[in-house]
Amino acid sequence: MDVSQYLEIFIDETKEHLQNLSDELLILEKEPDNSSTINEIFRAAHSLKGMAGTMGYKRMQKLTHNMENVFSEIRNAKMKVKPALVDTLFRGLDALEGYLDNIQNTADEGTEDNEPILDSLNQILNEGLGIEAPAKKEEPVKAAPVGDNGSVAKFQELSVADFEIHAMKKAKDGGQNVFGITVYIQESCILKAARAFLVFKALEELGEVVKAFPDVQDIEDEKFDFDFSVILLSREPADKIKEEILRVSEIKSAVIGEFQIPDQPTAENKENNTAAPVHEEAPAPAAAVQAATAAKPPQPEQNATVKKGATTSKPVVNRSVRVDIEKLDVLMNLVSELIIAKNGLVSIGANETSGNTATAAFNEQIEYLERVTTNLHESVMKVRMMPIESVVNKFPRMIRDLSKKLGKKMELYMSGEDTELDRTVIDEIGDPLMHLLRNAADHGLESNEERRSLGKPEVGSVWLDAYQDGNNVVIEVRDNGKGIDTESVKNKAIEKGTITPEQAETMTKKDIIDLLFRPSFSTAEKITDVSGRGVGLDVVKTKIEKLGGDIECKTTLGEGSNFIIRLPLTLAIIQALMVELGDEKYAIPLGCIQTIEDVSMDDIKYVQTKEVINLRGTVIPLIRLDEVLDVEPRKEAPESLTVVIVSKGDKLAGLVVDNLIGQLEIVIKSIGKYINNDKIISGAAILGDGEVALIIDANALV
């Protein structure tokens, strides 16, 4: 057997443990006395060390070992948690992540020894312990009072062959111990064979496995329940062997005791058998018990974190398979094709006007097909969805670091981490969000003194909220800092020549804020100093628009800013309204359409020589799509106009079209990068009859 096949599990679990460590460290920093947190940290570090060791990553093991030593001292209350300590530990975590990256890319941990981190860890350890005599590093894990639900020393029931007895006797005469071990794997474990293999590997380092039940081949083939027994010849003490076994993840417990060699009951053996075999639970329940006994005001929250930590380290049984994202893309493409084919049938069905029974049945079947394809599409989309958690869970750490670096006190509040987004969006959204958070922390929040003098709470707050809103997912990045000073932005814009003073007069606050998203603003350093915003916001905007979303900013001077990102739930297939302009057909995404109105020519008013309508009290500018798109206008002027009201955020606009065709499910295809289109066209769709219709990006028009 070769360890490489476990590489993937190793990487996944290491990631999980690292994330866990990072989360818990953040808690620890705030509540240095939280014993359940330190236990959780210790456990994660311990399993990390064991895993790295088993996989043969010595450097990683060494670093975790050193970190673990520190954790262990903290746990034993020999050391206090100090900011410098947490900093070093975070550096250690970063280094571990570096190793993991290397392993992920090359299956090798690399050659970086991270000596400075090791040194400072040791230094902390020495300082913290002071002159105290080097205490025993690892406190023996408390035996949990919890019942051992059926963990019995099954090894005693093993039947052994003569030659095995012989070998055991011989070993015993040679001064080795003969241990019987029964290992129980957690019932939630998915890859039992892998765990068993790791146990075997650990055991083989300590001694010689003479017998296993079920036999090794069956264990490799996963032909066992949740326990297996072995007989081990070893010179090591039972405690040490047990510790090594429990170091493997997802091992529930291990029962170890002297194996009674048949027909040779010596006095020593008897004694061992009458005494209950040494039995321990994995430390998890102990941690839970401690958490429960400690009773302080922030208790419920703490309990929740512990529970969360426990569930992430012991994955609940969820029946899942890993699928290559490319395979999903293929599946998605096939679904797209199917929808195009279905649209073809729909259009044939619509042309069959003779109302005989055959067409009725035909239409019925088409409707059925339509339902199936829509459901199929939804299912495939859902498979591609991932909770946004994987992106945002690194942010608390980032805010912490920023807080240190900038010398500002701040707190990040997140909600809606379980909001799901398409995988491709998840991959891309991290950077823009990080950028916005940095902006909020760096430029948005005032310094501690400033906040105090303003009568605000000294600790600044940054919020990251994600939630679903209809067909969109909205992510808001908010802060309660100083907000954006629109006046100074305006003045700077005039100074720079971006806008003329006359233009500035007529600009609304929103228009001015939109200036910040212009590329020309991003490089202007002066603006950054004055307004505190604007670095790279255009990049953020471009990225989000590439994902089919949009971003807007609301701000109140002195109270803070709010950046709102809207992202479409689905990228490839949307519902659209088909419209006609001259002889050409265009699609308008249904998501941005508010209403459709019939406007008589008399209702058109003029504001600043632009056409507007007054629709139930709201003034809405009209956009003549035929002019924008250079379509040959119709000859006779109609008495009334068909206007599609579209919205982008709070802004509305009325698109004038010649004719409405109807609603259609369309598959968005790119029109390629070589052809310019002024951003008005966001893509193309193939209609049922094979014709191509262009999709109008209402966001670019409004």
Partner 1 sequence: MADLNTVKIEEGKQYICVKLGDEQYGIDIQYVDNIVRMQKITRVPKAQSYFKGVINLRGEIVPVMSLRLKFDLEPDAYSNATRIIIIKLEQQASVGVIVDEVREVVTLEDSCIDKPTYDGADGKSMYISGVGKHGEELISLLNIADVIIEKDNI
Active site residues: 46, 68, 439
Site string for partner 1, 421-450 (x = CB under 8 A): ------------------------------
Q: Is 508 an interacting residue with respect to partner 1 (CB under 8 A)?
A: no
Give residue 626's identity as a one-letter amino acid code. Answer: D
Q: Is 376 an interacting residue with respect to partner 1 (CB under 8 A)?
A: no
CB of 396 to partner 1, least distance (A): 38
Stretch in the footprint of partner 1 (CB under 8 A) among 109-117, 168-176, 407-415, 678-686: 678-686
Choose, by CB under 8 A, the member of 26, 278, 564, 629 that binds partner 1: 629
Choose, by CB under 8 A, the member of 300, 455, 617, 672 that binds partner 1: 672
Q: Is 661 an interacting residue with respect to partner 1 (CB under 8 A)?
A: no
Element (H, E) at 462: strand 460-469
H-type alpha helices, 284-394: 284-293, 299-313, 325-351, 357-384, 389-392
Label the pairing between strands 227-234 and 207-213: antiparallel
Q: Is 326 an interacting residue with respect to partner 1 (CB under 8 A)?
A: no
Choose, by CB under 8 A, the member of 44, 79, 694, 702 that binds partner 1: 694
Q: Which is nearer to partner 1, 304 or 341 (CB)?
A: 341
Q: Which is nearer to partner 1, 201 or 377 (CB)?
A: 377
Sign of the Cα torsion 467, 560, 396, 427 reads: positive
Per DSSP, 608 falls in state T
How far apart CA 632 and CA 630 sit, in angstroms, is 6
Sign of the Cα torsion 613, 614, 616, 620 reads: positive
Buried b / exposed e across 169-199, counting CB within 10 Å, b at 16+?
eebbeeebbbbbbbbbbbeebebbbbbbbbb
How far apart CA 237 and CA 181 sit, in angstroms, is 13
Choose, by CB under 8 A, the member of 630, 636, 639, 650 that binds partner 1: 630
CB of 689 to partner 1, least distance (A): 10
Q: Which is nearer to partner 1, 481 or 589 (CB)?
A: 589
Is there a cis peptide before residue 214, judged by omega within 30 degrees of 0?
yes
Sign of the Cα torsion 144, 145, 146, 151 reads: positive
Stretch in the footprint of partner 1 (CB under 8 A) among 151-159, 359-367, 458-466, 690-698: 690-698
Buried b / exposed e across 573-596, counting CB within 10 Å, b at 16+?
bbbbbbbbbeeebbbbbebbbeee
CB of 629 to partner 1, least distance (A): 4
**Distance between alpha carbon 558 and the CA centroid of its chain, in Å?**
33
CB of 334 to partner 1, least distance (A): 11
How far apart CA 414 and CA 396 sit, in angstroms, is 9
Q: Is 691 an interacting residue with respect to partner 1 (CB under 8 A)?
A: yes
CB of 625 to partner 1, least distance (A): 10
Give residue 119's identity as a one-letter amino acid code. Answer: D
CA count, 13 A, side-chain hemisphere, 473: 25
Among left, alpha and beta (phi > 0; psi -120 to 50; other), residue 552 is: beta
How far apart CA 15 and CA 8 sit, in angstroms, is 11
Q: Which is nearer to partner 1, 171 or 686 (CB)?
A: 686
Stretch in the footprint of partner 1 (CB under 8 A) among 7-15, 222-230, 310-318, 685-693: 685-693
Residues in a beta bridge with 253 = 184, 281
Label the pairing between strands 177-185 and 207-213: unpaired
Choose, by CB under 8 A, the member of 147, 320, 639, 674 that binds partner 1: 674
Q: Is 546 an interacting residue with respect to partner 1 (CB under 8 A)?
A: no
Q: Is 329 an interacting residue with respect to partner 1 (CB under 8 A)?
A: no
CB of 694 to partner 1, least distance (A): 6
Choose, by CB under 8 A, the member of 248, 429, 666, 684 that binds partner 1: 684
Element (H, E) at 465: strand 460-469
CB of 409 to partner 1, least distance (A): 49
Site string for partner 1, 589-628 (x = CB under 8 A): ---------------------------------------x
Stretch in the footprint of partner 1 (CB under 8 A) among 21-29, 447-455, 473-481, 680-688: 680-688
Stretch in the footprint of partner 1 (CB under 8 A) among 349-357, 602-610, 629-637, 654-662: 629-637
Q: Which is nearer to partner 1, 72 or 682 (CB)?
A: 682
Give the strands of the sheet with 640-648, arranged side by side. 593-600, 640-648, 651-657, 618-624, 610-615, 605-607
How far apart CA 689 and CA 345 sit, in angstroms, is 9
Q: Which is nearer to partner 1, 222 or 689 (CB)?
A: 689
CB of 518 to partner 1, least distance (A): 20
Stretch in the footprint of partner 1 (CB under 8 A) among 64-72, 387-395, 542-550, 681-689: 681-689
Choose, by CB under 8 A, the member of 295, 316, 637, 675 that binds partner 1: 675
CB of 628 to partner 1, least distance (A): 7
Q: Is 686 an interacting residue with respect to partner 1 (CB under 8 A)?
A: yes
> Whose CA is closest to 181, among 204, 163, 149?
204
How far apart CA 359 and CA 647 sit, in angstroms, is 39
Stretch in the footprint of partner 1 (CB under 8 A) among 17-25, 103-111, 196-204, 691-699: 691-699
- Residue indicated by tokens 């084919």: 341
CB of 380 to partner 1, least distance (A): 17
What part of residues 439-498 is at the interface with partner 1 (CB under 8 A)? none
> Whose CA is closest to 465, among 375, 533, 376, 564?
564
Count how many residues are written for the chain.
702
Q: Which is nearer to partner 1, 464 or 686 (CB)?
A: 686
User: Site for partner 1 (CB under 8 A): how many residues?
Assistant: 27
- Residue indicated by tokens 């995404």: 589
Q: Is 345 an interacting residue with respect to partner 1 (CB under 8 A)?
A: no
Sign of the Cα torsion 328, 334, 335, 340 reads: positive
Q: Which is nearer to partner 1, 636 or 678 (CB)?
A: 678
**Distance between alpha carbon 33 and the CA centroid of its chain, in Å?**
29
Give residue 209's identity as a one-letter amino acid code. Answer: V
**End-to-end CA separation in angstroms for the chain:** 63
Choose, by CB under 8 A, the member of 25, 693, 698, 701 that binds partner 1: 693
Stretch in the footprint of partner 1 (CB under 8 A) among 19-27, 193-201, 253-261, 669-677: 669-677
Q: Which is nearer to partner 1, 338 or 660 (CB)?
A: 338
Q: Which is nearer to partner 1, 26 or 680 (CB)?
A: 680
Q: Are 444 and 436 in contact (CB under 8 A)?
A: no
Q: Is 677 an interacting residue with respect to partner 1 (CB under 8 A)?
A: yes
Q: Are 408 and 441 in contact (CB under 8 A)?
A: yes
Choose, by CB under 8 A, the member of 164, 465, 584, 603 that binds partner 1: 584
Q: Which is nearer to partner 1, 212 or 694 (CB)?
A: 694
Residues in a beta bridge with 585 = 580
Which residues would be at the binding site for partner 1 (CB under 8 A)? 337, 340, 584, 628-631, 669-678, 680-681, 683-684, 686, 690-694
